[in-house]
């Protein structure tokens, strides 16, 4: 594996670009059984005196069960040359195909969690808290439920401590 562990204080990027425009792969499970999905919603920050990533996964996504059952998961980020791989991972289910095989991504174990060797940045995340989004909790009437959910289930949010930061060596 060609990753080097760094201190989180060494990171320097725009999280709005990194998550919202470049996207990330959320990967749950272990080397024997795992799945990944593309995500473009999330937050990075500090909560409970811990550096955290909050991500959102619908319960009907195959990755959901892997993240739900495990203690940790990874959020990994890639260069633009992997855009088609991330698009594939966001539009196909691991129930129906082997995403690593289909995209050419190389599975890699990082601190007991799964990621891919092609990542430029891997955040190893330990789940701290989860909650389910609900329509009744929206405080504005600007159409978010209709626009983003429709008949799809609401996401589960995972607030997770970033316990490891790895960059391409």
pLDDT at position 129, please? 98
In a domain, 74, yes or no: yes
In a domain, 4, yes or no: no
Task: State yes or no: pLDDT of 47 exceeds 60.
Answer: yes
In a domain, 17, yes or no: yes
pLDDT at position 2, please? 85
In a domain, 5, yes or no: no
We report the CATH number of the domain holding residue 36 as 2.30.110.10
Owning domain of residue 144: 13-168
In a domain, 164, yes or no: yes
pLDDT at position 1, please? 57
Instruction: Round the CA-based radius of gyration of the chain to a whole number and report it.
Output: 16
Number of domains in the chain: 1
Contact criterion met (CB below 8 Å) for 50 and 137: no
Which pTM does this prediction carry?
Answer: 0.95
Q: Residue 147 and residue 112: Cα distance in Å, rounded?
A: 37
Q: What is the pLDDT of residues 64-120, one digit of tens each?
A: 999 999 999 999 999 999 999 999 999 999 999 999 999 999 999 999 999 999 999
pLDDT at position 169, please? 84
């Amino acid at each position: 594996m060609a990753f080097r562990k760094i201190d989180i204080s060494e990171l320097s990027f725009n999280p709005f670009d990194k998550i919202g425009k470049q996207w990330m792969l959320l990967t749950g499970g272990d080397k024997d059984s795992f799945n990944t999905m593309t995500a473009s919603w999330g937050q990075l920050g500090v909560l409970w005196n811990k550096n955290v990533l909050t991500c959102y996964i619908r319960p009907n996504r195959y990755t959901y069960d892997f993240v739900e059952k495990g203690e940790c998961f990874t959020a990994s980020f890639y260069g633009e040359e992997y855009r088609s791989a991330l698009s594939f991972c966001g539009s196909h289910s691991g129930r129906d195909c082997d995403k690593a095989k289909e995209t050419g991504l190389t599975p890699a174990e990082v601190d007991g969690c799964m990621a891919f060797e092609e990542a430029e940045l891997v955040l190893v995340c330990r789940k701290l808290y989860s909650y389910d989004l609900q329509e009744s909790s929206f405080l504005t009437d600007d159409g978010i439920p209709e626009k983003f959910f429709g008949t799809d289930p609401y996401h589960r949010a995972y607030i997770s401590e970033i316990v490891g930061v790895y960059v391409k060596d």
